[in-house]
């Protein structure tokens, strides 16, 4: 049975018609054409599909649509624009923290949730926050450096 469900994605209200248990990821990518959120494992184990729901980092591949209804959903597209990147996006570029880039949006969303909770995390806290994000490129040291750089940039007053 399909339902019409209201979603607030990146500050824009949407009405989607779908089965209530459809994974949020499918709605973001297929219906709303937000391709930055990636399909990785489909089991909530790799983090490529991470988004923020009411500021909390969640895997959208195993979040049913009904669980996101009426909440604020933020995807990678909601962080910055090509003309004005979010400090995390800029730091990933500056530190060359993404090689293939497939996992980068999920990692950035995990980092955003962390920096919103703690604007000055230590390396251990950063690594713990990224524990559920898989990256096979081996840029983990650059990723941690990028998150620390973004934290400094945000602390210095760079707009979010």
Q: How many CB atoms are located within 10 Å of the residue 104 CB?
A: 25
CATH number of the structural domain spanning residue 127: 1.10.150.120
Q: Digits of tens for pLDDT over the chain (160 positions)?
A: 889 999 999 999 999 999 999 999 999 999 999 999 999 999 999 999 999 999 999 999 999 999 999 999 999 999 999 999 999 999 999 999 988 888 999 999 999 999 999 999 999 999 999 999 998 888 899 999 999 999 999 999 865 5
Residue 160 lies in a domain: no
pTM value?
0.94
Q: What's the half-sphere exposure (Cβ side, CA atoms, 13 Å) at 23?
A: 19
Residue 151 lies in a domain: yes
User: Both 28 and 69 in a single domain?
Assistant: yes
User: Both 73 and 6 in a single domain?
Assistant: yes
Per the structure, how many domains does the chain have? 2
User: Both 11 and 73 in a single domain?
Assistant: yes
User: Both 105 and 138 in a single domain?
Assistant: yes
Domain end position, chosen among 22, 51, 77: 77
């Amino acid at each position: 049975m399909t339902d019409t469900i209201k979603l607030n994605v990146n500050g824009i209200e949407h009405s989607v018609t779908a089965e209530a248990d459809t994974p949020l990821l499918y709605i973001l990518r297929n219906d709303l054409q937000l391709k930055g959120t990636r399909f990785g494992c489909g089991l909530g184990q790799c983090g490529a599909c991470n988004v923020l729901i009411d500021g909390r980092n969640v895997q959208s591949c195993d979040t049913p649509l009904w669980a996101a209804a009426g909440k604020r959903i933020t995807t990678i597209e909601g962080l910055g624009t090509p003309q004005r990147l979010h400090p995390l996006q800029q730091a990933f570029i500056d530190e060359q923290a993404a090689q293939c880039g497939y996992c980068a949006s999920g990692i950035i969303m995990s980092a955003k949730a962390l920096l919103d909770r703690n604007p000055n995390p230590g390396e251990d806290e950063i690594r713990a926050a990224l524990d559920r994000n898989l990256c096979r490129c081996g840029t983990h040291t650059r990723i941690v450096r990028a998150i620390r750089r973004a934290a400094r940039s945000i602390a210095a007053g760079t707009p979010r």
